Amino acid sequence: MRRHRWGWPGARGAGAALGCGAAVATGQAPLGMWGLALAGLVGLTVVIARAPDARAAAWLGLLAGAAHFALALSWLVSPFLIDAAHDGWMAPFAVLLMAVGLALFWAAAAAVAALAASRRRRALAFALTLTGAELARGYVLTGFPWATVGHIWIDTPLAQLAALLGAGGLTLLATLAAALPVAYGRRGLAGGGALLAAATAFGHYQLAQPAPAARPITLRLVQPDAAQHLKWDPDAARLIFERLLAYTAARPAPDLVIWPETSVPYLMEPGDGVALAIAAAAAGAPVAVGIQRVAGERYYNSLAVIGAGGAVTALYDKHHLVPFGEYVPFGNTMASLFGVTAFAAQLGNGYSAGPGAGVLDLGPRLGHVLPLICYEAVFPQDLRAAPQRADWILQITNDAWFGTLTGPYQHLAQARLRAIEQGLPLVRVANTGVSAVIDARGRVVAQIALGKAAYLDAALPAALAAPPYARWGEVPLLLVLAGLAGLVIWRTRRAMA
């Protein structure tokens, strides 16, 4: 590869990186083209291994990452098109800035890998550094682990590896399978194939295991299909609320009715007219609803369980908020230090964060549930932070913000991964879809399609014993990465001696 000023890899190198990054993106839901994604990852590993220096490698990683995230996260334009006349102009800039920002992690991974002494070791090093970068992406600046490389396996039996090593383990599986042929040619191709075959066999074995007996519980998932641009219109809100009540009142009554995130279009207090209407429709069944809650000068995005007489029997406040979507970072600090209150959550300008992950006790029949609101389901650390192991997971969300092409399906895919990692069934109820019941192996056993107004009565699948990832989190993966990195460094130093 020709050397250029500031390490620029030239038009050919840049084009190759962009193409490879775009190919990797095709592995994300709903396409799920994991074969093409893996081929793109092989090509990217070749390009990085052949980079003349770390600066060129950083450029290549940046370009590949930007192409990958621009395609995989193209749904980010959707929130800006809700009020296109006012916000539409920002859509391309938002996607570009997010894509380049996330691509910095790939650039760092490529630059560090390029420090290895040979192309073979660079290929192996890139498999490890890219895995580490994708893992870090879930934590830095509150994190955004959406569209990670390992997500290409979610629709395959290989996803069961997440029960051992989490989503990061799936990424390592992909990067190693791509690096081995680059490093060792035909031997590496055989080694990579054997690695994938072993993971596939493990997945099939896991999926073939009989599930424990499920509790005799019936849940009602209520999906009103409220378009985002109409959700808060007074007339439309009334009709949507009546639809929610009608679906709730259908007989026979289930054990629990579940409404999606912010589904109640009014501010609600325990025992008021809104709560009483919900309780009356349910005829004795508890109803888990998404509400906006006010406490003093603070607003919360919450899940409330409404029982007899409109009483709130359980409450959870979302704690992992969307930066710039639900709150403005440092807004409270600006208000307290400088008197700039426009962004202060405590003055109603955005949501305030709840105290943290929690588990709700819904009684001896429904058991203990781990609640998640919207994109909290993409953070495995949020589930591991719960104070105790739950019996099942409940996610309420409003995926109307994510458009209709890719975002809702990617969100669903990540929820499936959380079920595998925790060994727990997960029930998700979405405003516009996809609402689904997911078993503890990540399989969708019942669902309401995207863009459909309906309700679904479904049984709650059984929980499994806590798998290794639920017990130890990222520790096993970090040990594997440390061991492999130590081996690469040792071989590199030995070759340079």
Tell me what pLDDT residue 57 has.
97
| CATH annotation of 218-319+354-463 | 3.60.110.10
β 435-438/444-448 pair status: antiparallel
Tell me what pLDDT residue 297 has.
85
Q: What percent of the chain has pLDDT over 70?
A: 94
Q: Is the pLDDT of residue 3 over 60?
A: no
Q: Is the pLDDT of residue 37 over 80?
A: yes
β 218-223/256-258 pair status: parallel
pLDDT mean across residues, the chain: 93
Please give the average per-residue pLDDT across 414-439, as a whole number. Answer: 98
Please give the average per-residue pLDDT across 454-466, as a whole number. Answer: 97
Distance, C-alpha 182 to centroid of its chain: 30
Tell me what pLDDT residue 335 has.
60
With beta carbons less than 8 A apart as the criterion, state whether 26 and 70 touch: no
With beta carbons less than 8 A apart as the criterion, state whether 447 and 436 touch: yes
Residue 276 has a CB neighbour count (10 Å cut-off) of: 15
Q: Is the pLDDT of residue 497 over 70?
A: no
Kindly report, residue by residue over 216-232, the tens digit of the pLDDT. 999 999 999 999 888 88
With beta carbons less than 8 A apart as the criterion, state whether 70 and 18 touch: no
Tell me what pLDDT residue 343 has.
43
218-223, strands of its sheet edge to edge: 312-317, 298-306, 287-295, 256-258, 218-223, 454-459
Maximal C-alpha separation, the chain: 79
Tell me what pLDDT residue 131 has.
98
Tell me what pLDDT residue 318 has.
97
Lowest mean pLDDT across 33-37, 171-175, 234-238, 342-346: 342-346
Lowest mean pLDDT across 3-7, 149-153, 318-322, 361-365: 3-7
Q: Is the pLDDT of residue 137 over 60?
A: yes
With beta carbons less than 8 A apart as the criterion, state whether 396 and 369 touch: no
Q: Range(s) for CATH 3.60.110.10 in the chain?
A: 218-319+354-463
Q: Is the pLDDT of residue 377 over 70?
A: yes
Please give the average per-residue pLDDT across 159-166, as a whole number. Answer: 98
Q: What percent of the chain has pLDDT over 90?
A: 81
Residue 251 has a CB neighbour count (10 Å cut-off) of: 6
Kindly report, residue by residue over 170-215, the tens digit of the pLDDT. 999 999 999 999 999 999 999 999 999 999 999 999 999 998 888 8
Name every residue whose Cβ is closer than 8 Å to that of residue 27 and which is 6 or more positions away in sequence. 33, 34, 36, 37, 38, 149, 151, 152
The pLDDT confidence band at residue 338, using thresholds 50, 70 and 90, is: low
The pLDDT confidence band at residue 86, using thresholds 50, 70 and 90, is: confident
Kindly report, residue by residue over 233-283, the tens digit of the pLDDT. 889 999 999 999 999 999 999 999 999 999 999 998 888 999 999 999 999
The pLDDT confidence band at residue 487, using thresholds 50, 70 and 90, is: confident
Tell me which of 92 and 338 has the higher pLDDT: 92
Lowest mean pLDDT across 183-187, 269-273, 336-340, 469-473: 336-340
Tell me what pLDDT residue 342 has.
43
Structure tokens at 51: 């980079």
Tell me what pLDDT residue 493 has.
72
Which residues are designated catalytic?
Answer: 261, 318, 374
Tell me what pLDDT residue 85 has.
86
Kindly report, residue by residue over 94-118, the tens digit of the pLDDT. 899 999 999 999 999 999 999 987 8
